[in-house]
Each structure stands twice: as C-alpha cells, then as structure tokens.
Amino acid sequence: MLRLQNVSLVRGVRVLYKNVNLTTSDGEIIGLVGPNGSGKSTLFAAILGELSTEDGDILAPPLNRISHVAQRVVETDLPALEYILEGHAPLMEAKAELKRAEEAGDDMAYAQAVAHLAEINEGAVVAKAEEILYGLGFKPNDSSRQVSEFSGGWRNRIALARALMRPADLLLLDEPTNHLDIDSVIWLESFLKQQEATVIVISHDREFLDRIAKSIWSVEDNTINRYGGNYSQFEVTRAQKLALQQAAAKAYERTASHLQAYIDRFRYKATKARQAQSRIKMLEKLQSVEPVLAKNEWRFSFLQPEKVPQHLITAEGVACGYEPDHPILTQVKCNISAGARIGILGVNGTGKSTLVKTLIGELEPLAGEIRYGQGLEIGYFAQHQLNDLRDDESPLQHLTRIAPPNMRELDLRNFLGKFRFSGDQALAPVGPMSGGEK
C-alpha cells in the first residue's frame, strides 16, 4: 500500500503540488495524469526516495518491493534473458546464496540453498521471463542476444520486461506503451490486470487508461485529486465538478456582492445599523468559492504548405531493407494522394519503419522505383526522434538550427508558444525536461 500524507513537492522554485493526501488499495491500477511538466515523474522519484518532499510524508513499501522501469538501460553484454532475470531479486539472492555455500564448502548451507532455490522454482521464473519477452514483441532467439546489440527502443522494452519480472507490491510505470506495437500493448493490458501489485501508470494514451485504470490521480491546481473509474469517467466527473464549482463561485459572488452593497449603504445609518451588522456577520460566515481558473487550450495544427501536389508518392515494385541480398519487404506498390490518412500495421521487425524511411528517401530502395510529386515537402517524426535532441540546448536553439535563415527569433518564439514553451521555458535546456515536454 502507498500513502501520501500532506505531501508537497517543489521543482526548482516552482511548487508542483501541496497538501496531497492519497491512499492506494491493494491491487489497484491507477492512472496518473496531468499536463507535461506538472510533476508526474517527479512523484515517482519521490516515492523511490530519489528526492525529498518539501513537506509531508510518503509511506511506501520497502524499495525491494517496488518495481519501476529504469530511465536508461545500461549497455551491458549480458544476454537479454539473463539481464531480465536479474530483476527477480529472490532468484538472484537464492543463486548467490548457493554460490556462497559452494565456495565455503558448507554442506548444511549448501543443502539449505538448494532447497531455497527449489522453492523459488527457477524453471517457472525463466518461463515467465520468456513469456514477458514474447509478449513485448521479442523473437525466441532474441533472448540470447546481448542487450548492447539492441536499439534504444528495444532496450526500453527490455527495461520494461525487467520491471515486470520483479516481484513487487508496487509497480510504477512511466509511459509504458511508448515503443510498443498494438499487439504488445494488448498483451501488457492483460498482464497488468492479472498481476497482484498496486500499479500506478503515467500515460497519455487515453484508450490504454480506459482499459486498465480503476481510478485516476489528476495533477491539477497545485494538488493531486483522485477520481473513481477509468479515464473517460474521470473526464466526465471532472467536467461536472468544474461546472458545479463555477456555478457555486458565481452564486457566492452574487450573494457577497449583494451583502457588501447593503453594508456599504447602511452601516453608518442609525436606523439600519443593526441590519448592517447582521449582514457583516453573514458575509464573514459566507464560505468563499474560487472560480475555475481559465486554462489556455492547446490547439494543435500543422503549417499549411503553399502548394500540395495531387499525387504525393508512387511506389512500383519497391524492395526495402539494408542488405541487397536480404530485403525486408519486396514488391511494395502504393499510391499516396493528397489528403490521405494511412495507418501502417504489422508485428515488430516486419519493416514498418523501414518502409517509411524508404518512402521518404532516407533509405534508398533496393529495387523498384519511387516517384515524388513536384514540389513535395516531407515532414518526418521518427520512432526514436528524441535521440536527436541535445540536452544542453534550449527549444529555441533546436528550432533555430533547423529553421529557414530568414525566420526571426520572434517567429520561432511564437511557434514554440503554441506548444506551451513561452518565456523562459523557450530558453531552458532540454535535458531536465519531462518526457512529454521533450
């Protein structure tokens, strides 16, 4: 169980939230939501003891009973399966116990260690690790590959597998569906529903939260509020709550204004002094209601091109891949027209990203022909786009580097403002930013 008692957290000089009082139930799956930079990942760090609260207490299970996904997977030469099994602390301790007994030549300790290892059932633990690997999209022969051989996205999956492997009372997941395909997301949903630990999930995937969450913790108005139900239910309840708050605030304002007007008019008139004093007491007892703070809505829009060709990309008999003798896809034929909205599906490793890179010209086709519409301009957001960010540079510096030479700084700042990077935020280094902000 996890309990937050009057918790206040500060990042730099900014108060993220204060006076937070929340308690989890055993086996509860909680969605932690809020705007980018509001302190969701910071709460995880506080639960793990990586930073201190400004005020209040966090009562959490022991660290060896909390599982979380490491922000970065070490570049180890261990096989993937072995690295994931290291996340199972009881198994690792039992094997270490057996090794110590062997080295000491202690027959009694050795017998106890063998019994301990048999009780844990290493075979079942290994089978579970393989099941997790397969569920997250790995192929059978991937378990023996070294972790260092995998790309960044696949290492993130390995980190997730290691966290899921660990016996825990509390499981903390920060954007677990990033880098997962549809099949892996469906598998993860099923896995989380079946395990016994309390789970807190940070996610911007509303459909994922709708399917797994039993309650929502929402970071809002410098605190964290709990709502029962999944994400859709949270949205309805919160909208109703805000509507009631706004109505109550208006009613308070009307009543207070009426009382204050009477007081101002008659408090110094002898004939009305008693009534005025009565209204002063009523005004003092009247419970104030804060109006709902207006929030700037973020309306995402793409810049409009000056001219759009009717036929954007045409591919005929295209082969995609990295080695001429071993193409990943062959005989690709497609015709992409202006205004099309196309989804590309397929299990991991079947060549979805390779196809996109080939169509946009980042990879040369191994065979066939690709034709582009005249004047076509292509925007591309890659699977591992975050790897291109420079931690020591600001959002403004990133845009300045890729913007046309004739763009003014004011234009770039206005553009960043649409993405909620205004004022000093546009000049802050990217490194410390949250995942969502990046």
The answer to whether residue 437 sits within a structural domain is no
Nearest 5°: the CA angle 348, 351, 357 is: 125
The answer to whether residue 433 sits within a structural domain is no
Span 162-175, pLDDT tens digits: 999 999 999 999 98
Residues in the chain: 438
The answer to whether residue 24 sits within a structural domain is yes
DSSP character string of 40-100: HHHHHHHHTTSS--SEEEEE---GGGEEE--SS-----SBHHHHHHTT-HHHHHHHHHHHH
pLDDT attached to residue 170: 95
* C-alpha span between 200 and 44 (Å, rounded): 9
70 and 179 share a domain? Answer: yes
Q: Is the pLDDT of residue 394 over 90?
A: yes
* C-alpha span between 5 and 414 (Å, rounded): 41
CB atoms within 10 A of CB 114: 14
pLDDT band of residue 191 (cuts 50, 70, 90) is very high
Please answer whether residues 166 and 88 qualify as being in contact, where contact means their C-beta atoms are separated by less than 8 angstroms. Answer: yes
74 and 100 share a domain? Answer: yes
227 and 113 share a domain? Answer: yes
Q: Could you give the 3-state DSSP secondary structure of residue 348?
A: coil
98 and 216 share a domain? Answer: yes
pLDDT attached to residue 433: 80
70 and 200 share a domain? Answer: yes
Span 98-143, pLDDT tens digits: 888 888 888 888 888 888 888 889 889 999 999 999 999 898 889 9
Q: How far apart are the first and last CA of the chain?
A: 32
33 and 85 share a domain? Answer: yes
Task: Single out the residue in 218, 233, 248 at which a domain terminates.
Answer: 233
Q: Is the pLDDT of residue 187 over 90?
A: yes
Rg of the chain (C-alpha set): 29
Phi, psi of 186 (to 5 degrees): -60, -40
Q: Give the residue among 298, 278, 245, 319 at the shortest CA–CA distance from 418.
A: 298
The answer to whether residue 84 sits within a structural domain is yes
Q: Is the pLDDT of residue 207 over 90?
A: yes
**How many domains is the chain partitioned into structurally?**
3
CA 366 to each of CA 20, 224, 317, 334, 388: distance values in angstroms, whole numbers, following the listed order? 58, 53, 10, 16, 26
**22 strand-pairing partners:** 4
Q: Could you give the 3-state DSSP secondary structure of residue 184?
A: helix
Q: Could you give the 3-state DSSP secondary structure of residue 179?
A: coil
pLDDT band of residue 290 (cuts 50, 70, 90) is low
Please answer whether residues 312 and 338 qualify as being in contact, where contact means their C-beta atoms are separated by less than 8 angstroms. Answer: yes
Range of the domain at 346: 311-372
Dihedral sign computed on CA atoms, order 378, 384, 385, 387: negative
Indicate the range of 2-11, 338-347, 380-389 predicted with least confidence.
Answer: 380-389
16 and 87 share a domain? Answer: yes
> In Å, how far from its chain's centre is CA 164?
16
The residue that leads in pLDDT, 342 or 424, is: 342
Q: Could you give the 3-state DSSP secondary structure of residue 28?
A: coil
CB atoms within 10 A of CB 70: 14
pLDDT attached to residue 425: 86
Span 305-316, pLDDT tens digits: 888 888 999 999
145 and 265 share a domain? Answer: no
CB atoms within 10 A of CB 138: 24
The answer to whether residue 151 sits within a structural domain is yes
Task: Single out the residue in 233, 262, 277 at which a domain terminates.
Answer: 233
The answer to whether residue 417 sits within a structural domain is no
179 and 328 share a domain? Answer: no
Q: Which residues contact 75 (CB under 8 A, 6 or more apart)?
A: 147, 148
Task: Single out the residue in 320, 346, 372 at which a domain terminates.
Answer: 372
Q: Is the pLDDT of residue 349 over 80?
A: no
pLDDT attached to residue 291: 62
Please answer whether residues 32 and 217 qualify as being in contact, where contact means their C-beta atoms are separated by less than 8 angstroms. Answer: yes
Task: Report pTM.
Answer: 0.75
- DSSP annotation of 387 reads G
The residue that leads in pLDDT, 196 or 154, is: 196
37 and 20 share a domain? Answer: yes
Q: Which residues contact 330 (CB under 8 A, 6 or more apart)?
A: 319, 320, 367
CATH number at residue 71: 3.40.50.300
Q: Is the pLDDT of residue 296 over 60?
A: no
pLDDT attached to residue 321: 93
The answer to whether residue 228 sits within a structural domain is yes
249 and 190 share a domain? Answer: no
* C-alpha span between 205 and 386 (Å, rounded): 18
205 and 239 share a domain? Answer: no
Q: Where does residue 229 rank: exposed (0-12), middle (13-18), buried (19+ CB within 10 A)?
A: middle
Which ranges in 201-302 belong to alpha helices (H)? 206-212, 231-266, 273-285
Indicate the range of 30-39, 160-169, 209-218 predicted with least confidence.
Answer: 30-39
CB atoms within 10 A of CB 395: 23
Span 49-61, pLDDT tens digits: 998 898 999 999 9
